[in-house]
Structures are given as structure tokens and as C-alpha cells.
Amino acid sequence: MRRSGTRHLLSMADLDRDDIEQILNLTESFAEVGERSIPKVPALRGKTIAWVFYEDSTRTRLSFETAAKRLSADTMNFSVSSSSVNKGESLRDTIETITAMGIDGVVVRHRAAGAPHQVAQWTDASVINAGDGWHQHPTQALLDLYSATRHLGELDGKHVAIVGDINHSRVARSNAIGFAAMGAQVTLVGPPTLLPPSLAGWPVEATHDLDSVIDDLDICYLLRMQLERQGQATVPTLREYHQEFGLTSARADRLGSDALIMHPGPMNRGVEIAGEVADRPNAIITEQVANGVSVRMAVLFLLLGAGLEPVDHNLAVA
């Protein structure tokens, strides 16, 4: 980000607490734009942003598109399934082709960890990582931090459990860094088969026993079982997984009255979270989705717009 002197958003590891606070403060301004009768500002008029998604997405892609439209940016849609990727065109040639048409930003999702870092070598545009393999999903972490702070205030000392398929989760990696940067205590919870072989460098503790931490949590953050990334069975059955590591109704009853239930989506009700628990008032899962638009407006504005400090929000309706 601009405070860190970079044009890209590739990893939460590139952001310090000041960077994150700058983004969250700007998000608050853009959330206000979203409540207007005409939720649109001219902040990125004349800028063009391309979406390059090699993996499926509902939330991330639609919220980036909504964010760009609210900022008056032009967008260039790229669909792998109807593109020349199917004729064998490489990622590099695809990026250089899109860049040649004139773009200011490119939002990339790819199954390969590090793909957005490579893309940043092949284009002059700002690159935003919308999820790369198991590696990083920085805007998910930012929208989760924003959502959590709206309910809990400062996150210093708050206890966050990230529960489930940690090993295959880019969300876990980004959120562990993000919550720790904001002063929270992060505990990873999962069976040995779903935790990384080494937690060296992770700012976290870990346990295999959700019941040992559930009463103490400020946030219980559930992860989807990512069967598409698992080469072999990691749990005996999904039913047993739900009993051992799912947020069942009984476990949700043990959470404190102010504790939040969070999930990045898409959810598998009845696996990592009981169906009725996902609909409880302290489950803020759809609120996370809504906040994703405002957070992505802030990120796009800081990277592509007049995000020089002091920030000129340029929020006047056109």
C-alpha cells in the first residue's frame, strides 16, 4: 500500500498495523457511500481494472466489481472458460495481452501460490491478490478485520480461534497475520491432518481440542473443508469431523454473549458449522460479505486513486 511504498496488494505480510488501520479508516468512509441513494463517487473515473480469475468465486469477484462500479472505474472482464487460455495461452501472455489494452489495475485469483507476485513482474498495473492457492487472500483478511472491529472495537488482547482446514486455507494464513498485527491472540484449531506440518513463522498457538478454547473466545472463525485441495482423505467422515471440530449448537451455546461467529464463505452447513448456528444473531457472515464491498473500495482507491496522505477521499457524488 502507499504507506509501505508499494503499488500492489499481494500479501497481508506486506502490511503493518498502520497500513491496516489506514485501510480500515478509509473503509468506514466508503461504507457511508454505500448507504447513499446513489452509491457512486467519481474517485476512479478514467481508471480501468481487469478481473483475471482462474478459480471460481462468488463473493470476491462480485464485491470487487461492485466496488469498482461505485468508484466509477471501467472494468474489463476476463473469463477463463471463454478465453484463449483454452487454446493454451500462458498466464504471462494473457497478462501482457490485457496490459496492452491499457489497464490501471488487475485483480488476480489463481490456483497457484505466488501467481499474483509473478503477474506483478509482467504488468505496469497495480496487482491485487484475490486468492492464490493455499497462500494468501489479503482482502478477505481486511474485510474480516473491519467486520470484527465494528463489533468489538480494538482487537488488542481479543482471542480469535481459526478452526478447521488450516493447511489448505489462504484465508487462515492471511487472517492469522492480520489479527496478530492488530494485537489479537490467534489460536489455530484442527486435527493434525489439517494443520500445517510446521507453524514456524505463524504468529499463533495451536490446539487439536476446540472444546478447550471455546469458552474463552471473542471470535470463532470457521473455515470450509477444502476437499478440492486435499489429495487424500484427511478426516474419517465429515459427520465425525462435525462432531469433533464443527461449531455445533452445543458449542455455540458456550460462546460468550458478545462473541462473534465468522466464516469467509462459501459455507458447508452441517460440516464446519451447524445450519442453525450460521443464522444466529452473533453470526456475522452476511455482514462480512457486505463489508467486503467497502473494504475493496478502500483498497482500489488507495492503490489506483489519489490515496496520497493526507487521504483525499474525493467522495463527492458526481
Task: Give the separation between CA 108 and CA 99, rounded to whole angstroms.
Answer: 13
Decide if residue 57 touches ligand CP (CB under 6 A): yes
Decide if residue 133 touches ligand CP (CB under 6 A): no
Task: Give the separation between CA 146 and CA 141, rounded to whole angstroms.
Answer: 9
Closest approach of ligand CP to the CB of residue 118, in Å: 20
Task: Give the separation between CA 140 and CA 63, rounded to whole angstroms.
Answer: 11
Task: Give the separation between CA 43 and CA 68, rounded to whole angstroms.
Answer: 10
Among 39, 42, 265, 270, binds ligand CP (CB under 6 A): 265
Residue carrying the nine cell digits 500445517: 196
For ligand CP, what does the binding mask look like between residues 90 and 119, x meaning CB under 6 A?
------------------------------
Among 25, 58, 79, 249, binds ligand CP (CB under 6 A): 58
State the helix-helix crossing angle for 59-70 and 138-152, rounded to 10 degrees.
80
- CA 163, 169, 173, 178 dihedral sign is negative
From 10-18, 72-80, 211-219, 258-266, give the range in contact with ligand CP by CB under 6 A. Answer: 258-266
Q: Collapsing DSSP states into helix, strand and coil, what is residue 189?
A: strand
How many residues are listed for the chain in this entry?
318
Decide if residue 229 touches ligand CP (CB under 6 A): no
Residue placing its CB nearer to ligand CP in the complex, 183 or 266: 266
Decide if residue 314 touches ligand CP (CB under 6 A): no
Closest CA to 128 of 292, 281, 303: 303
Among 11, 60, 123, 294, binds ligand CP (CB under 6 A): 60
Residue placing its CB nearer to ligand CP in the complex, 60 or 94: 60
Task: Give the separation between CA 106 and CA 94, rounded to whole angstroms.
Answer: 12
Residue placing its CB nearer to ligand CP in the complex, 264 or 305: 264
Task: Give the separation between CA 183 and CA 196, rounded to whole angstroms.
Answer: 23
Residue placing its CB nearer to ligand CP in the complex, 190 or 264: 264
Decide if residue 59 touches ligand CP (CB under 6 A): yes
Question: Nearest-CB residue to ligand CP?
Answer: 60
Q: How many CB atoms lie within 10 A of CB 86?
A: 9
Decide if residue 48 touches ligand CP (CB under 6 A): no
From 51-59, 186-194, 240-248, 268-276, give the range in contact with ligand CP by CB under 6 A. Answer: 51-59
Residues lying near ligand CP in the complex (CB under 6 A) are found at 57-60, 131, 140, 264-266
